[in-house]
Structure 1
Amino acid sequence: MSWIDIGHIDDIPLRGARLVKTPVGCVAIFRTAEAEVFAASNACPHKAGPLSEGIIHGQKVTCPLHNWVFDLNTGEAQGADEGRIATYPVRLDGERILLDGHAVGKRSAA
């Protein structure tokens, strides 16, 4: 893995998100708890809704356009909806957020 420092944990509000621009598109970084972060595709597979603008609850995000709910651990849509978002390895090193640049780089451009 090739870890990239993308910022301080306090750069993202609790139950908020931040976009990281990469050569292959935007990745959303979600802060679900004081010391818990997830990384996933920013686009909902339904209508490309911006997930970083969605509602974060527990370890899930709800798309702001049509209320599709995604598990941030697996990327799977919850309930009756079918679909999946890409998820990426992310971790905390102290208070710094590290994103796996190798995993993001393997993502195909949309």
Structure 2
Amino acid sequence: MTGHIIGTLADIPLGEGRTFVVDNRQIAVYHLRDGTLRALDAVCPHRGGPLADGLIDSATVVCPLHGRTYDLATGAESTGGAPVRSHTATVDSDGAVRVILG
């Protein structure tokens, strides 16, 4: 499988996000409560907020600085503001987390 191995699933607590550097880009990877992974650019385009530190649910992340909300699947901002790029994150059979930049 192609992509960049960024660590293991154990590096990302359930229900939280973590930032990783992939090809000199900051990528936020989220471990959702259902066990799936999502990945977005890690910097909010509004004011540079750290999206990995935002509150997440099954579908969105809220920027901790100014409350902008982004769709975890598409990167779209809920009020039509500037989006963030979404990426593919998967877990290999050995627990390695792999990101494919979108």
TM-score for the superposition, normalised by structure 2? 0.86
How many residues matched?
Answer: 101
- Residue in structure 2 matched with residue 24 of structure 1 by the alignment: 24
Please state how far the C-alpha of 1:88 moved relative to its aligned partner: 1.1
Q: Is the 8 A contact 1:40 1:87 kept in 2?
A: yes
Return the letter of the residue paired with 1:53. Answer: D
Moved beyond 4 Å, runs of 4+: none
Q: Is the 8 A contact 1:49 1:64 kept in 2?
A: yes
- Residue in structure 2 matched with residue 45 of structure 1 by the alignment: 45
Percent pairwise identity? 28
Question: What pairs up with 1:4-83 in 2 under 5 angstroms?
Answer: 4-78=4-78, 80-83=79-82
Q: Is the 8 A contact 2:3 2:98 kept in 1?
A: yes
Q: Is the 8 A contact 2:15 2:56 kept in 1?
A: yes
Gaps of 5+ in 1: 105-110
TM-score for the superposition, normalised by structure 1? 0.80
Q: Is the 8 A contact 2:4 2:22 kept in 1?
A: no
Gaps of 5+ in 2: none
Please state how far the C-alpha of 1:12 moved relative to its aligned partner: 0.7
Between the two structures, name the one with larger relative contact order (CA 8 Å, sep ≥ 6): 1
